[in-house]
Structure 1
């Protein structure tokens, strides 16, 4: 077994999904490992990672709207240290998750045809987000 690790910085413009499938795939191809398990971990409590459809932009638009309704800004939250989008961002992260595990075979992520990897920015203002990638395999 061998291991490889890197860290990606994703710059966001505020609430949105930023696809990072191609960046992860490029790094994966440089590792030389062909079979294993890839773990991606978002190092933040107000941004998250998800796998979803990357062919129809309407999917991301609808998901952002759903998350806004599920955890609205201005709700009855005690925690608002960084503004009205603070606690809703934490809730959205809890719902969507901070890490992903993706099988690797033949040197590629075993994603489905329409699947892509996205960083979900849950805050209103732009951020630089850190995602750690760890691959273990042969």
Structure 2
């Protein structure tokens, strides 16, 4: 899996956007139940913004914000994939789309915790998790 200090690369589906990041200490992998994350169905890997470098395709990224505008969702303008977004709860971090990390797949994880983005701490809610999503493989 991903170990603190390791350097990984990733990108969008068409390869236009490429990035590199260093895995932080105590990495966080999660989903979120807010409106956009629920629709994207993304599993996020939290990375300090300072540790992520865009290698190619920065000019192809399209920005989407809504509500408070604090979260900044970046999409490839060619293939539509969401490689990462600036987190509302931790504006100094990106939530990297786990499926966009080279060699990774969300199907390698049996469980992923779900953050309560519908009752976000910035809106007076608690900083909490509300559940776990599970992937159960079919027997061979």
Q: Structure 2 length normalisation: TM-score?
A: 0.27
The structure whose residues are more often helix, as a share, is 1
Q: Which has the bigger relative contact order, CA under 8 A and spacing at least 6?
A: 1
